[in-house]
Amino acid sequence: MPSAEKHRAAVLGSPIAHSLSPVLHRAAYAELGLDGWSYDRFEVDEAALPGFIEGLDSSWAGLSLTMPLKRAVIPLLDGISPTAASVEAVNTVVFTEDGRRVGDNTDIPGMIAALRERGVEKVESAAILGAGATASSALAALAVICAGPVTAYVRSRERGDEMRGWGQRLGVDVRVADWADGARALGAPLVIATTPAGTTDAVATDVPERPGILFDVLYEPWPTPLASAWSARGGAVVGGLDLLVHQALLQVERMTGRVPAPLGAMRRAGEAALAAR
């Protein structure tokens, strides 16, 4: 557990102005009575990251990392968790009592927790829309909860090869399909949309009569056209805010040593912030 002297944390990335992480972490500190703790945001790109980390003093408990830093930070650390190593991506750095920098990935357990909160423990198969960094984390989550094959809908052969490679590494049976056939993905028991805003709008009209579960990792704008159409058909929807809150909750616990972190207070703060925007 971090000592009383460690009381600073922040989220780094570029761009970073949109990040909800300060809202969530500060809400947790308030609920936990951690009056001396602060959580800020800093615009930091890959070139500036080494200097930023080297300039931190012993008051720092941890960092949250977003794009494009999740892989760039790894050479700067003293070690990373098996979870982070499984996808070569770190979104959390904890500074230990002995001065070590330890990387972790809370996106993967955050995805699993968000799904389990909605009653999703196991699925027989799944589909992923997209093949970026979030898609690899989704595959790692599916390695835990998916019993059968995962079909990845991608735009290029190179992306397909990458997803197959991640599948082999994670022990997931990955099958690749062309992005042009993305509407077929919507018939899977679990669909995880990992693409930027607007990318899945074209398939929103193709939601089946009885959809399964949609996990759309976006939280702004929300709901997406796909999420709206899914809900209108009676399907269960897990949103990006669910993921953001669950991964942030794990970060708070790792950085402060206080368990459990206040899920409800963090979610309410995130919802209020999005409504205000």
Residues catalogued as catalytic? 70
Sheet holding 190-193, edge to edge: 174-178, 150-154, 126-129, 190-193, 213-216, 236-238
Outline where 147-239 has alpha helix (H). Answer: 157-170, 225-232
Which two three-digit tokens encode residue 179?
């992005």
In Å, how far are 1, 6, 29, 53, 54 from 58, measured between CA atoms? 14, 7, 19, 11, 11
Q: H/E element holding 140?
A: helix 133-145
In Å, how far are 80, 94, 103, 117, 231 from 190, measured between CA atoms? 30, 33, 29, 15, 14
Q: 69: burial class by Cβ within 10 Å (0-12, 13-18, 19+)?
A: buried
In Å, how far are 115, 159, 252 from 143, measured between CA atoms? 13, 19, 25
| Nearest Cα residue to 29 out of 266, 267, 270, 271 | 266
Q: What is the DSSP string of 27-84?
A: HHHHHHT-TT-EEEEEE--TTTHHHHHHT--TTEEEEEE-TT-TTTTGGGSSEE-HHH
Question: Quick one: DSSP state of residue 146?
Answer: B
β-pairing, 92-95 with 101-104? antiparallel
Quote the radius of gyration of the chain (alpha carbons, Å): 19
